[in-house]
Structure 1
Amino acid sequence: MTKTVEFYFDLGSPATYLAYTQLPKICAETGSELIYIPMLLGGVFKATGNASPAMIPAKGRYMFQDLDRYAKRYGVPLKFNPHFPINTLMLMRAVTGIQLRQPERFQAFIDCLFTALWVDGRSMDEPQTVAAVLSEHGFDPQEVLALTNDESVKAVLKENTETAVKRGVFGAPSMFVGNQLFFGQDRLDFVEEALRQI
């Protein structure tokens, strides 16, 4: 039986960035496959009545302090993006398009976008900034832009988001091991535990 972690993610979540830095290692150590499923966090929030913790000032301040603690524990860079919150509709369509049409470049694609957002603090809801980041990493901005306008790509992202909500997802990151849902990068130890019990 193949052990899998289904990773529902949106680039605009700093907690998702931290989970993304750790999940490949957890999967490698447990002999599991990591399945990336792009979704639109704004769509999930709308469907579930949820909102970003950052919308509550005291909670937002705490959240970013806590994420910084985890980044130090994991030994990974994390910079609060001054442009947060980011509208990720275009980015998540691009991610979905690359996953569908150029799967061999998918990892490099999300690597450069996560880094731009949560290490370099770039304004990734500005098309010219996105184009610059893509060019710097060997991607053709026009080709990627075309993917974001592709109706079949839009449909897959919408379907992923609807499926996430049906499965009980209310935020990001959300991970499934079998039918067990784990929410938040601070639940990765439970993800690992579940994988080791299979």
Structure 2
Amino acid sequence: MKNIDFYFDFGSPYSYMACHRLLQICKNTEAQITWKPMLLGGVFKATGNHSPMVIPAKARYCMIDLQRWSKLWHIPMQMNPYFPINTLQLMRLITAIHLYQPDSFPQAIQTIFHAMFGEPRNLNDEAEFETLAKELGLDKREVMTWLSDEQVKTQLKDVTEEAVARGIFGAPTCFYQDEIYWGVDSLHFLESAID
């Protein structure tokens, strides 16, 4: 089995790009993705790393770089004007869907990423978050229950700690056959390894 472990956070624009590219790679190679939603803020705290967006020169470069990848891979991408967005609820939501509605998970991933960087919306806004949940076919009361569900919290925490233990310091990060691939520029090497 060709399996890719994909660690991501919805707050990472490079995770958005990687998600789209990995789906293309899987289509070409018959590989499968094991989705690993994690809290990037928790990874940063544990490793002493920081978002590139907090370093002005690096942030400016990232805006150019993301557009280059967007054009190369034909992946529509817009930086979210409401960035940074606190993704804790989004990451709990996708973890809950992974646990309780796994059949809905692949579409939910793409829908949420699209709302972040495809056609960006203010997902910090409670009303916008509720609208997104409706678009995912979820009941508001169910979602609110999930966001405080101890099993969901524990799962998200465990995957974040697992990421740190595996040497992850940022997102997106993939593993294939126990080899680490960080960032979208490493996906070429990942695809070559799978081939």
Q: What is the TM-score normalised by the length of structure 2?
A: 0.97
Match of 2:19 in 1: 20
Match of 1:128 in 2: 127
State the aligned residue count. 195
CA distance in 2, matches of 1:108, 1:55: 31
Match of 2:140 in 1: 141
Note the 1:56-71 alignment, pairs <5 A: 56-71=55-70
Runs of 4+ with deviation above 4 angstroms: none
Q: Could you tell me whether the CA contact under 8 Å between 1:94 and 1:145 is conserved in 2? A: no
Q: Could you tell me whether the CA contact under 8 Å between 1:40 and 1:161 is conserved in 2? A: yes
C-alpha displacement of 1:142: 2.6
CA distance in 2, matches of 1:22, 1:119: 14
CA distance in 1, matches of 2:174, 2:104: 23
Match of 1:183 in 2: 182
Helix, strand or coil for the counterpart of 1:100? helix
CA distance in 1, matches of 2:108, 2:145: 15
Is residue 153 from structure 1 mapped to residue 152 from structure 2 by the alignment? yes
Q: Which moved more, 1:138-147 or 1:173-182?
A: 138-147
Residue by residue over 1:109-130, the C-alpha shift from the partner in whole angstroms, topping out at 9 and shown as x without a partner, is 1111111110221111222111
After superposition, the CA RMSD in angstroms is: 1.0
CA distance in 2, matches of 1:80, 1:59: 15
C-alpha displacement of 1:145: 2.2
Match of 2:71 in 1: 72
Helix, strand or coil for the counterpart of 1:128? helix
Helix, strand or coil for the counterpart of 2:33? strand
Helix, strand or coil for the counterpart of 2:76? coil
Helix, strand or coil for the counterpart of 1:80? coil
CA distance in 2, matches of 1:31, 1:86: 34
Q: Which amino acid aligns with 1:135?
A: K
C-alpha displacement of 1:85: 1.2
Q: Percent identity?
A: 46
C-alpha displacement of 1:56: 0.5
Note the 1:18-57 alignment, pairs <5 A: 18-57=17-56
